[in-house]
């Protein structure tokens, strides 16, 4: 059974997915909430499944003195993130490890971010319990998860329209050809969902999973074209 090859996905991730308006809105939802949460000036912030580093990079202006930790098992994603952090002169600890195996102290984090990572895991509920132990008692957990069956045509149209608005016709055609592997990997992901490799859930099922694994939900919404669930939680 084939799953997404994240090393192949990484090459075009920022150019294709990063141009998506829905993707940008997800990041903005986190950035806007940081002011409300009143995190300590030197907050410890952990991004689980941090990919190419978009969320940490976007938070760095809001939290200039924060201690950021980037955790992802994929070397290709981490290499792209490392380059991005260097360009922004950010001091970010990068841990290359499976999420459940990473050595991070319990009750050490003020904010944990986990975006579109849980659904890919074989034991997502175990991960929710592990995250619960990593967070300080007054910390925040910002989680977004791709719970619905992927509608590849809808996603493709959205991404292409976003690219056209940003770059125009000819550059967009060039990007689509250069990074066509992203679309192929999403097709693989769609088939993997249908075969049971990835966790599918409704908003209600997602909320139940959070509440029965140590979390009190402060906010619950759908996002990313209605395909993802977004929750802001604190330890229960």
Domain spanning 38-149+200-235, CATH class = alpha beta
In whole angstroms, what separates CA 211 from the centre of its chain?
20
d(CA 161, CA 41): 39
What tens digit of pLDDT does each residue of 3-16 get? Answer: 999 999 999 999 99
Give the length of the chain: 236
Q: Which residue has the tokens 């925040």?
A: 140
Q: For 83-119, give one letter per residue: b (16+ CB within 10 A) or e.
A: ebbeeeebebebbeeebeebebeeeebbbbbbbbbbb
- For the segment 219-224, the average pLDDT, to the nearest whole number, is 97
Would you state the pLDDT for residue 35?
Answer: 86
**pLDDT-based confidence at residue 100 (cuts at 50, 70, 90):** confident
pTM for the whole structure:
0.96
Q: Domains of the chain: which residue ranges?
A: 38-149+200-235
Structure tokens belonging to residue 234: 């604190």
Q: Give residues with Cβ within 8 angstroms of 90, minimum separation 6.
A: 56, 57, 60, 68
d(CA 47, CA 70): 5
- For the segment 48-77, the average pLDDT, to the nearest whole number, is 97
Number of helices followed by number of strands (H, E) in the chain: 9, 7
1, pLDDT greater than 80: no
d(CA 38, CA 147): 30
In 3D space, the residue among 141, 114, 120, 127 whose CA is nearest the CA of residue 197 turns out to be 120
What is the DSSP code (8-state) at residue 150?
Answer: P
Structure tokens belonging to residue 185: 């990997």
157, pLDDT greater than 70: yes
What tens digit of pLDDT does each residue of 106-143 get? Answer: 999 999 999 999 999 999 999 999 999 999 999 999 99
* Element housing 84 (H / E): helix 75-87
Say how many CA atoms lie within 13 Å of 227 toward its Cβ.
19
Would you state the pLDDT for residue 2?
Answer: 79
Q: How do strand 228-235 and strand 215-223 relate by DSSP bridges?
A: antiparallel
């Amino acid at each position: 059974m084939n799953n997404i090859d994240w090393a192949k996905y990484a090459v075009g991730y920022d150019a294709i997915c990063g141009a998506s308006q829905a993707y940008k809105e997800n990041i903005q939802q986190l950035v806007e909430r940081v002011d409300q949460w009143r995190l300590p000036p030197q907050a410890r912030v952990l991004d689980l499944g941090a990919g190419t580093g978009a969320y940490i990079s976007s938070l760095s202006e809001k939290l200039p003195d924060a201690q950021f930790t980037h955790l992802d098992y994929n070397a290709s994603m981490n290499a792209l993130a490392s380059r991005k952090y260097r360009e922004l002169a950010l001091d970010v600890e990068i841990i290359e490890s499976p999420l459940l195996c990473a050595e991070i102290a319990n009750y050490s984090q003020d904010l944990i971010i986990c975006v579109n990572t849980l659904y890919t895991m074989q034991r997502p509920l175990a991960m929710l319990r592990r995250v619960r132990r990593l967070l300080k008692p007054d910390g925040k957990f910002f989680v977004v998860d791709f719970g619905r069956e992927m509608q590849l045509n809808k996603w493709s149209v959205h991404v292409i329209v976003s690219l056209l608005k940003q770059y125009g016709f000819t550059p967009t055609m060039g990007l689509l050809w250069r990074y066509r592997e992203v679309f192929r990997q999403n097709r693989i992901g769609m088939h993997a969902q249908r075969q049971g490799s990835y966790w599918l859930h409704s908003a209600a099922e997602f909320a139940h999973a959070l509440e029965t694994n140590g979390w009190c939900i402060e906010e619950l919404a759908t996002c990313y074209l209605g395909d993802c669930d977004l929750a802001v939680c604190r330890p229960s």
